[in-house]
Amino acid sequence: MSSNSFYPSDFDLHLFHEGNLFKAYNLFGSHVRNEKTFFALWAPNAEKVSVMGDFNNWTGRGAEMEQVTNEGVWFLELPQNLEGSLYKFEIVSKSGRVIHKTDPFAFMTELRPQTAGVIYTLDGYKWRDENWRSKNRRSSLLYKDPIAIYEMHLGTWKKKGKGENDLYTYRELADMLIPYVKEQGFTHIEVMPVTEHPFDRSWGYQSTGYFAATRRYGTPEDFMYFVDECHQHGLGVILDWVPGHFCKDAHGLHNFDGGFSYEYENSWDRENYVWGTANFDLSKKEVQSFLISNALFWIDYYHIDGFRVDAVSNIFYWPNRDGLEANPHGVSFLQKLNKAVFAFKPDALMIAEDSSDWPQVTAPVDQGGIGFNYKWNMGWMNDVLDYMETHWDYRSQKHHQMTFSLMYAYAENYILPFSHDEVVHGKKSLLDKMPGDYWQKFAQLRLLLMFMMAHPGKKLLFMGTELAPFSEWKDLEEVDWHLLDYDMHRSFNEYFKQLMHLYKTVPSLYELDHSPDGFQWIDVHNHEQSIFSFIRNDIEGNAVIIVCNFGNCGYSNYKVGVPQSGMYEEFLNSDEAVYGGSNMVNKKKIKSVAKVFHGQPAYVDINVPPFGAIYLRCVKDKGRN
């Protein structure tokens, strides 16, 4: 062993087996240092391991690895710089079976369908996002600032053609996507998983290469450019991340060394029958080191701002047991993960995609919580979409579905999601979920989005929503850009941009998302007309009055209680003609009447359009008349 060897230290090995080596990517995998190449692998069930690649004719001869400890860590030092070479591990199991596996820590792999790892160094990119990273991004601002997330699939936002490889690169996408997303009014881009995966139509949710940005769209530096450009233009980048399960392709983590190193030994716990995948054994300390290191890796090398953690309920609970039986290993892993991420990046976004009612998901770990800082509000999404899909003649019977979310709105820090999951597999697009004729569908979608922007919680919308497509997401084709050739879709997009930019500039709509002080019902009981009215306040007490009519009848001289006397103006109406509406608007300023109504000290008489929403604010209080 040479004096400049990078042989694993006893301390690193101790941390790895303890579940606390949070930068395991600096040890494991392949690394070129001082014109030598080093390999390290965890394969506890292997009898023998060799490195095979294009540098030794894929034989493994002369590249046999040494077992460092009896706990399954293997190491090899080769005296040449093998940067750019292809390689795999040849593993002989204890039963004598020969297995060829891709390096779990590979920083780059071949383009599918090829599966070899590439010996690759990630230190060459020159970042230019210093201002983004150095400005005062206190964690408290994550709650008081507006957050509007554009969820997207890189392969189907835009395509060069119809073939599976007719894809834009990360760099090309950055140059097209960033100005577009900013124009639409979003604050963040959430990218569906870019961890390397063998099957396009898994959308990245069934990964093999957790440390490799998929080659479908270019090199690691290309993805760094994508993130860098987002930051330079004021957009955060969130990665969809899947620590619960992995795909079972032969070259991946499944049955890695002839045994079940990464997954549960027990088949009932190991098999994820819903998705055809294998569940990570989160009780294993080495698996904890692997996954937590992976999260820190994307922050460290790619400057990622946070993660949407997929299928959290599948981690909270054992997936194949009767009833809801908590998995203590999953719970403790998530707590450990969040503590590690926030210690490394205090302003990270850690977002739980959780459909369960597990308590305190967004409470700090030291207060008994799971430690995320946001959670998708799946209950709100399901209730609201069910209500919207109900014909307006029967919505009065489901009135509570639009109000129930306020019973628990402050139990967690919520993001309101209309994600890709709601517009695939026959669920229909948001527009097509709306009942009625062509005009009524558009009117109700405009109404729905204004209700969403006014409801407590940050926002997430799937790509294409801004165009109001009739078709659900087609995961082999690009977004329906041709819709902008049609007047109604073009008008809708103008409305969408106005709404999104307004959301970001009116503090009442976001500053107190997580405080009861930010919301007050005006009239919650009008189920006969399906009209809801409420107030959103900012920190200084400035109020926005929201009126949402989910019925098909418009009303003149509709009385709405307001929190102070004065002159009011309508500053957004979803029914404006320019947006494709019937133009039942309130053009002039409205003087309130100083008489108690709806429990408020005054009221205004306004026009309320059919399937319409209105935002009002006081522009001059009575004391300054």
pLDDT at 624 over 80: no
**pLDDT tens-place string over residues 452-488:** 999 999 999 999 999 999 999 999 999 999 999 999 9
**pLDDT tens-place string over residues 362-394:** 999 999 999 999 999 999 999 999 999 999 999
**What is the bridge-based pairing of β-strands 29-33 and 36-42?**
antiparallel
Provide the percentage of residues in the chain whose pLDDT is more than 90: 94
Predicted local distance difference test score (pLDDT) of residue 135: 74
Q: Which of 97, 48, 28, 118 is nearest to 255 (CA)?
A: 97
Out of 132-136, 165-169, 434-438, pick the least confident.
Answer: 132-136
pLDDT, average across residues 75-94: 97
- Contact in structure between 353 and 416 (CB atoms under 8 Å): no
Predicted local distance difference test score (pLDDT) of residue 139: 62
- Contact in structure between 226 and 62 (CB atoms under 8 Å): no
Task: Work out the number of other CB atoms within 10 angstroms of the CB of residue 411.
Answer: 14
**pLDDT tens-place string over residues 485-496:** 999 999 999 999
Instruction: Find the length of the chain.
Output: 625
114-125 b/e with 16+ CB inside 10 Å = b? ebbbbbbebeeb
**Locus of tokens 């850690």:** 350
pLDDT at 335 over 90: yes
548-571 b/e with 16+ CB inside 10 Å = b? bbbbbebbeebbbbbbbbbbbebe
Task: Work out the number of other CB atoms within 10 angstroms of the CB of residue 2.
Answer: 10
338 three-state secondary structure: helix
Q: Which of 353, 538, 575, 576 is catalytic?
A: 353
Please, what CATH class does the domain formed by 10-118 belong to?
Answer: mainly beta
CATH topology identical between 10-118 and 518-624: yes
pLDDT band at 623 (very low <50, low <70, confident <90, very high): low
Q: Tell me what the pLDDT averaged over the chain comes to.
A: 96
**Structure-block tokens of residue 428:** 């229909």
Predicted local distance difference test score (pLDDT) of residue 248: 97
Query: Is 538 assigned a catalytic role?
Result: no
Task: Work out the number of other CB atoms within 10 angstroms of the CB of residue 440.
Answer: 15
Predicted local distance difference test score (pLDDT) of residue 80: 96
Query: Is 353 assigned a catalytic role?
Result: yes
**pLDDT tens-place string over residues 270-322:** 999 999 999 999 999 999 999 999 999 999 999 999 999 999 999 999 989 88
**Residue 613: strand pairing partners:** 548
pLDDT band at 6 (very low <50, low <70, confident <90, very high): confident
pLDDT at 136 over 60: no
14 three-state secondary structure: helix
Q: Which of 221, 310, 466, 538 is catalytic?
A: 310
39 three-state secondary structure: strand
pTM summary value: 0.96
Q: Which CATH number applies to 145-509?
A: 3.20.20.80
pLDDT, average across residues 188-205: 96
Task: Work out the number of other CB atoms within 10 angstroms of the CB of residue 428.
Answer: 16
Rg value, the chain, Cα? 27
pLDDT at 621 over 80: no
Predicted local distance difference test score (pLDDT) of residue 69: 87
Domain limits, the chain: 10-118, 145-509, 518-624
199 three-state secondary structure: coil
Q: Report the sign of the C-alpha dihedral through residues 572, 576, 582, 583, in that order.
A: positive
Q: Where are the beta strands (DSSP E) in 260-301?
A: 271-272, 277-279
- Contact in structure between 276 and 248 (CB atoms under 8 Å): yes
d(CA 261, CA 606): 66
Predicted local distance difference test score (pLDDT) of residue 138: 61
Q: Which of 10, 95, 116 is nearest to 48 (CA)?
A: 95
Task: State the fold for domain 518-624.
Answer: Immunoglobulin-like (2.60.40)
Q: For residue 266, give every residue at least 6 positions away whose Cβ sits within 8 Å of its Cβ, in sequence order, or none.
A: none
pLDDT band at 185 (very low <50, low <70, confident <90, very high): very high
Predicted local distance difference test score (pLDDT) of residue 620: 81
Q: For residue 311, give every residue at least 6 positions away whose Cβ sits within 8 Å of its Cβ, in sequence order, or none.
A: 242, 244, 245, 353
pLDDT band at 622 (very low <50, low <70, confident <90, very high): low
Q: Taking CA 513 as the corner, what is the angle to CA 231 and CA 496, rounded to the nearest 5 degrees?
A: 60
**pLDDT tens-place string over residues 555-593:** 999 999 999 999 999 999 999 999 999 999 999 999 999
Long-range contacts of 501-505 (CB under 8 A, 24+ apart): 501/185, 502/453, 502/571, 502/572, 502/615, 503/146, 503/148, 503/185, 503/453, 503/459, 504/146, 504/148, 504/185, 504/187
Q: Which of 241, 245, 309, 251 is nearest to 278 (CA)?
A: 245
Q: Which of 618, 565, 611 is nearest to 592 (CA)?
A: 565
pLDDT at 61 over 80: yes
Q: What is the DSSP letter of 202?
A: G
pLDDT band at 1 (very low <50, low <70, confident <90, very high): very low
- Contact in structure between 271 and 317 (CB atoms under 8 Å): no
**pLDDT tens-place string over residues 257-268:** 999 999 999 999
Residue 85 φ then ψ, to 5°:
-75, 150
